[in-house]
Amino acid sequence: MTIIDAAPVPPVPAPGPGSDDLRPEHQFSRGGTHLRVRVHQIDDPTDGGYLLVFGDPSPQPLVRVHSRCLYGDALGSDDCDCGPELALSMDMIQAEGAGILAYLEQEGRGAGLLAKAIGYRTSERYGLDTFDSYTKLGLDPDARRYEPVAKALLNLGVHRLRLLTNNPDKLRALADAGIEVEVLPLAIRLTTERGQRYLDAKVRHRGHMIPRGIGPWAPEYTVPEQVGERDRPRTRRRWLFGRRR
């Protein structure tokens, strides 16, 4: 048998990434549902984050503007409504087959995780809610801004949307930017005493519109004038803000 050494083959350089290879778009699966998702960055040093565009949104898409919460989003905390609100919003987006999630780097209402943890400890020691504990620590109870996400949505061509929120600050910022906003509140039930106190504090301090059959989302509730021009509510739990149709 004659043995012939293989001739050396020079390595073929891998082709550089083309423009299509660098598109931040891919298939996303959750709970057996599959959607395409495109990721857009929101550039802002304090209130930036990402827009995740699922499927092919309608001219008036479902939109969730969500502040990052490690305890609620990733660890499943029962003491805040962040995780359940995010999960419910994703359920609604997937059920519709399209929508937009704005995920903002605003841990601890903009104060960060360390300040959030210290705030929790202060609340435990002095019997305060998290808003009052932030004030006691010399922190802004809510330092978040939503103008960057409003600008990012407008840059995507979103001028009308259905906002999944209980937070009037979010709808106010979007409406003030010229976006027509229809509010779809998120009914979240927290079972722990701390969680229930947290929801009550959000209503008292920030005017959150928690749908519980009474209070802000009851039929007799009147939206404050400073929210912006609005139509009368069409249903018990849907309001329009911003430009008239």
d(CA 165, CA 239): 12
Reply yes or no on whether 20 is catalytic: no
Q: Which of 73, 129, 142, 230 is catalytic?
A: 142
State the DSSP string of 102-124. EEE--TTTTT-HHHHHHHHHHHH
> Would you put residue 49 in left (φ > 0), alpha (ψ -120 to 50) or beta?
left
Strands (E), 5-61: 25-30, 33-42, 49-55
Reply yes or no on whether 142 is catalytic: yes
DSSP state of 93: H
Q: Which of 64, 109, 144, 172 is catalytic?
A: 144
Element (DSSP H or E) covering residue 153: helix 147-155
- Looking up tokens 């701390």 gives 194
Here the tokens at position 177 are 């930017």
Angle between helices 147-155 and 168-176 (to 10 degrees): 50
Element (DSSP H or E) covering residue 240: strand 239-241
The set of catalytic residues is 142, 144
